[in-house]
Structure 1
Amino acid sequence: MDKSTLVLYTRSRCPLCDKAKKIVLELQEEWDFIFQEMDIDSSDELTEKYGIMIPVVEIDGEEIQYGQIDHLTISEAFSEKSKSLSQINGQ
């Protein structure tokens, strides 16, 4: 089974981003996923897309949550993905 990839879109001097990163790192202890952090200030395209939304959590290309990131919402998203994968693999 391929690992999911979680991308956290952040920028420097962003307290909400720091909090979100801490939550993501805690989640990585529960769920086996690849973690990538993207600084939106490194790309005009990302800044335009996510400027006022950050932090943004994306799992396998799907935006899961932005702004106030919480443990439960992200964990539920991984749980749903896990269920979907086991249903696909079980058929």
Structure 2
Amino acid sequence: MAKTPAKSPKKVKKVKKVKDPNAPKRNLSAYFFFMNDQRAKVVKANPDMKVTEVGKKLGELWRAMSDSEKVPYNKKADADKVRYEKAKAAYKPK
């Protein structure tokens, strides 16, 4: 007797949660502040790089930085976190 493969159960699509457009935006990390600051410089220096290669290059630069060089970006991230916490506390979902 040949065994027949078991039928897989039907996949149930998950209903996507509707996002409130008035909800406060999440805070950015220090790495994202660094990326926003350095992306234009990397692209200008390497105009033929693809988007993924630019991201990899920025990651390498971030890892190569010392903790003292990351301080300004950490301060921006801390300030943005405070902003987000205040906005989140003031936000009233409908």
TM superposition score normalised by structure 1: 0.33
The answer to which structure, 1 or 2, has the higher relative contact order (CA under 8 A, 6+ apart) is 2
Query: In terms of Rg, which structure is larger?
Result: 2
Higher strand share: 1
Higher helix share: 2
